Amino acid sequence: MTEALFTLLGTILGFILSEFSTWRRESRNETRQAKATRTIVSLEIDLNLEFLKEFIEQANKINLVDSDIQGRKKALARFFTEFPFPNWSREAFTSQLSSLPHALSEQEVVKVFQFYDRLQRIDIIRNDLIAALELQKTELEAATISKGYYSQLAYIPNEPFNDKASNYWDQGKSLAAQLLAKGNPLRIKKLN
């Protein structure tokens, strides 16, 4: 009877120790996964911030001869459409979406989503400006009548780019400034 009792206690103790060991291993794996998720998303945000910082530095180097503020903003908006923007890196963020709640606090998740939303809004503004510039070029070509070496306008064309440029430049620059001022939401350091 004692032998059966020791066997039963040994089996129960073995089961408990095995479950505890499995729980610790899974907990360590979850912790590692959370750290890896945090690191990869943070690195991607740093990459996007560096590109944004480079864009702002290039915009600040433009030598604007136009004394009129609206003219300067149009020139900067044109630069915004011509600067070789790569697509913002979103692969790490989208691939880790299911892991974010485990890797980040609720506040950090919100800040990361806000960061990527602002990047997307910059893209929307830029794409709208590009479309407006193309439409303006098309309007100008349609309104131009060529006569030998000379050309003249048959009518005054719409200027959608000129109409939107100043406002859109202000919006894009404001979003970029917000992103750079806040920096990486997963790090304390900020890019300026």
Q: Residue 77 burial (CB < 10 Å; 0-12/13-18/19+)? A: buried
Q: How many domains does the chain have?
A: 1
Strand partners, 38: none
- Which range of residues forms the domain containing residue 44? 2-182
pTM above 0.85, yes or no: no
- Residue 190: band (very low, low, confident or very high) from pLDDT cuts 50, 70, 90: very low
Length of the chain: 192
In a domain? residue 187: no
In a domain? residue 191: no
Per-residue pLDDT reduced to its tens digit, 118-142: 999 999 999 999 999 998 888 888 7
In a domain? residue 70: yes
- Contact 186/96 with Cβ under 8 angstroms? no
pLDDT at 151: 67
pLDDT at 148: 59
In a domain? residue 141: yes
In a domain? residue 168: yes
Write out the two tokens for 67: 């004394």
In a domain? residue 192: no
* SS3 of residue 66 by DSSP: coil
pLDDT at 189: 43
Q: Which helix (H) or strand (E) holds 153?
A: strand 150-153
In a domain? residue 190: no
Average pLDDT, the chain: 83
In a domain? residue 162: yes
- Contact 184/39 with Cβ under 8 angstroms? no
Looking at the predicted structure, is the pLDDT value of residue 11 above 90? no
Per-residue pLDDT reduced to its tens digit, 17-72: 667 666 676 667 677 777 888 999 999 999 999 999 998 888 888 777 666 788 88
Instruction: Give the residue with greater pLDDT, 7 vs 186.
Output: 186
